[in-house]
Structure 1
Amino acid sequence: MGDIALVDIGSSRVKWQVRSPDGDVTGSGATREPAGCVRALASMAQASPLTAVWVSRVTGDRGLEFSGELAAAGLGAAVHAVQAVAVGPNGLHSDYAVGQLGVDRYCALVAARACGDTPVIVVDAGTAVTVDVLHADGQHAGGYLLPGRQLGWEALQPRLADRIAPREASQWPEDLDPAPGLNSADALERGWGLGLAGALDGLIARSRTDLGEPAACWLTGGDAYWLAPLLREEARIVPNLVLDGLWELSRWDDAVCAG
């Protein structure tokens, strides 16, 4: 068994890792476009051929673009596009509506479940912010969806276009100033950022109460480092939960095939 590639195609970024059969990360990166990820994987494959590519992908053009670029690169690796299922590895079970649980959320839950019989609240801060609640026995209790910081900006900015300019995700400051804004752009940035953090604090606290036992909160996604200092509830940043979940799924698939 050779190296495998793990690829998370999100709405804004494509994150990837290459891992050895033992799980050691031998390469990693992030690009805005799927083509950049494929070029990086093709370059690494020249030194050590890839035997498989495991992909968590959004629906639509970005997923199709990645598939086309990968086929054109001629890597010769088996491609596994993950889908969320009701019963996953290590006793993970979800009653979420069929076809509606995002594959990135599913992979993050797989990664959380792989860490043992412990309750976990998974917050993925990306284009959308998702909160998923996992019981100690592996039952997914469901979750919550909120617009992320960029989506929140984009929802209101057009209505205030005479005083607030459009903003790309790359234009956000690294840290949020919590002081009241003295112009509409600052007021929106700070109001939405603190409001999002407040909403998440409430959801995390409620989920911990509903679980009925102490639960860790794992924070992942592109905005995790921006969001973490704004939260009052205790949370730990786990940067690559989706990729970790893809790795667990690749091992589970091998076990299923072997059985």
Structure 2
Amino acid sequence: MSDTPPTTCPAVDIRGLRKSYGDQSVLDGVDLTVEAGTITALLGPNGAGKTTIVGILSTLLRPDAGTVRVAGYDVVAQPEAVRAAIGVTAQMSAVDDLLTGVENLRLMASLHHLGRRAGRERADALLAQFGLADAARKPVSTWSGGMRRKLDLAMTLVGNPAVVFLDEPTAGLDPRSRRTLWDEVRALVATGTTILLTTQYLEEADQLADRVAVLDGGHIIAEGSPAELKSAHGAGSLDDVFLRLTEPSADLTTKDAD
């Protein structure tokens, strides 16, 4: 199969995705499209399968059924091409506390097979972009939680990925640090990068996302812009929409808000 993607295609295209662990079905026919240059927030209760979807999209997990394409590449048939096109900021920090900020970034540059000079230039540019240059040569163990999370995102961007998966990127951050990271995400999308975001913070989805998809019971049960979802459910906030959709008595056949 050719590693050349279609000329125009969604950044993420999921059709009929299924995944089980033993006899427990986690994803049962998920369909989701993320257009290039946008932010889509994937919401769902704990255990709904959000992290499983990110694992499949990043080629760390293999789907049981369905088709999944990222940047035009099939995650099963073309995993190397997918990995070259993506960046992932996981729930658990990827930074090494024993290294300095610049050492973390240069290590990541080496893993991306950048030359020594190119790696140094890329590291310096990202440190400046994220406002971390002043602390660059201090051990990361001395950094604040917000600075560490910004470094996590910077490390994700070393390879200039077209598509970035952010899995609970602001978990544990204080409100000021969270909003600072939001600004970095907005700036990233302004350059054409595509973001798929999983989050437990409904305000975060409301502030950042062009589209929101709600995952529950193994399916996408609602999808639309934040404004469309609030209007469709007569709700004043995404919190209200989420609670109505995911409470035990909710109608799991809810259609798109379009």
- TM-score over 0.5 (shorter chain): no
Higher relative contact order (Cα pairs below 8 Å, separated by 6+ residues): 2
Shorter-normalised TM range: under 0.3
Tell me the TM-score normalised to structure 1 length.
Answer: 0.25
Taking structure 2 as the reference length, the TM-score comes to 0.25
Per residue, is there more helix in 1 or in 2?
A: 1
